[in-house]
Amino acid sequence: MMNQNNRNHKGHSLKKGSAALAAMLLVSGTSIGVYKLVEELGTTVPEYHLSKDITEEENAAAQDKSTAKNTPAVQATNMSWVELASPADALTVPEIVEKAMPSAVGISSTFTYTAQTSGYTGFGFGGMYGNTQPVSQEATATGSGIVMSTDGYIITNAHVIYDTESEYKMGKATSVSVVMGENHDEEYEAEIVGYDIQTDLAVLKINAENLTPAEFGNSDDLKVGELVVAIGNPLGFELYGTTTCGIVSAKNREVELEDKTMTLIQTDAAINSGNSGGMLLNSYGQVIGINSLKMGSSYGEASVEGLGFAIPINDAAEIINSLIRDGYVTGRPQLGITGTTITEDMAALYHIPQGVYVYSVSESSASGLQQGDIITAIDSTEITTMEELNEQKNLHKAGETVTLRIIRNGESTEVQVTLQESRPEA
């Protein structure tokens, strides 16, 4: 999550009920500030490889150490939880931090939005009367990032540079900067190379050379109970480079947030506002996850702690390379609508079927859908939620045609819709 002052998947699925929606927090935050506008730069670069192949010599060394560690004499010693959670050939936690810290950076994003302010303009029969005026304002949000190349490519979360969560839905940041250095005293203007809201990933580019890129591991090799270390900037840059550690609490955890389902690594390493986009490291100091969100301090009536989530690096790699190569994820389908789930209670109250209510249809869409339509099925598959609609839609590619069953003016009918390619705003 971002640190923002103005606002605050396969295993068990965390369903997005009212309590869950309030409790699942993206990790980022905001203060008021003014930054220079940075224009986007379209760049074509070679594909970056985000995994490390272990050599036969390293494997042999690991097996030797593992054999020694599992002898009865060693097992009889009082090992710390860190030792118990680490492979035999693991680095120590200070060694992990020393290796990874030069690749950990801070992200500062500036957003411009319009707010309504009230004021008094004169006197009337009832005394002084007022009106509201739209006023352009700015807010800044801070997060974390990961150096992925010597020539200045930086990985972070999409929600660090694109706001969909706050009251004002401020959209893409008008300017972004990257902070780095031992004393976080080096600051670079950053260009947004590309972002993907669906997977919550973004790539930035700064004009710098000879940076220290992170080493990327294989998130598929993680084991539940294994040691992990998180590095980021909780609550802003005053706590720049904060390190926490814990274990992998679960793999392939399905989390629902904002009509999308993400499959994430769950960890009890402390992750807080400002950690968004930061690194989750394995015992070898390799990035195996990108910290993204946490469960809030209260979940319904329960008090919770230590429920953080990170995007597996193996899942992120293809998206990151696509963002660098094309600026967005190509071939992803969309219906060209905005809509919302009609819940069971809403259906009963308004005497309408459950499904997806169409709020608007994009100007570029030739779908045949209209505002007020209720989508109840796609290709003969019944749907009652936006999540189910997206799940079925994502089985297709852009350019393919799907059949939607809709309710329009109380009558059931079917429309053929050609899926568009989803592109971010310019």
The model's pLDDT over 240-264, given as tens digits with 9 standing for 90+, comes to 999 999 999 999 999 988 767 899 9
Beta strands per DSSP E along 126-185:
127-147, 153-156, 162-163, 171-172, 175-180
* Per-residue model confidence as pLDDT tens for the chain (426 residues): 556 543 333 333 343 332 333 345 676 643 322 222 222 223 333 455 564 544 556 555 555 555 555 555 455 468 899 999 999 999 999 999 999 999 999 999 999 988 776 555 454 444 445 566 788 899 999 999 999 999 999 999 999 999 988 778 899 999 999 999 988 899 999 999 999 999 999 999 999 999 999 999 999 999 999 999 999 999 999 999 999 999 999 999 999 887 678 999 999 999 999 999 999 999 999 999 999 998 876 566 677 789 999 999 999 999 999 999 999 999 889 898 989 999 999 999 999 999 999 998 887 666 789 999 999 999 999 999 998 999 899 999 999 999 999 999 999 999 999 998 888 766
Phi, psi for residue 289 in degrees, rounded to 5 = -160, 155
Phi, psi for residue 322 in degrees, rounded to 5 = -65, -40
Q: How far apart are CA 267 and CA 228, in angstroms?
A: 8
The Cα angle at residue 191 between residues 190 and 193, in degrees rounded to 5: 135
3-state helix, strand, coil in the chain (%, to 5): 20, 40, 40
Residues designated catalytic: 159, 200, 276
Q: What pLDDT digit, counting tens, does each position of 275-297 carry?
A: 999 999 999 999 999 999 988 76
Identify the burial level of 222 via C-beta atoms within 10 angstroms of its C-beta, where 0-12 means exposed, 13-18 middle and 19 or more buried. buried
Neighbours of 302 (CB within 10 A): 10
Residue with tokens 């490519």: 153
Whether 292 contacts 264, CB under 8 Å = yes
Structure tokens given for 98:
């020393």
Q: All domains of the chain, ordered by start, with CATH?
A: 9-23+217-314 (2.40.10.10), 333-421 (2.30.42.10)
Residue with tokens 């793999």: 251
Structure tokens given for 148:
């992925």
Whether 141 contacts 30, CB under 8 Å = yes
**Chain mean position to CA 70:** 39
Q: How far apart are CA 123 and CA 171, in angstroms?
A: 39
What pLDDT shows up at residue 76? Answer: 42
User: For the whole model, what pTM was predicted?
Assistant: 0.75
Report the DSSP pairing between strands 242-257 and 13-14. Answer: parallel
Largest Cα separation within the chain, whole Å, is 92
What pLDDT shows up at residue 8? Answer: 34
The β-bridge partners of 143 are 107
Q: How far apart are CA 142 and CA 169, in angstroms?
A: 16
Q: What is the CB-side half-sphere exposure of residue 50 using CA atoms within 13 A?
A: 25
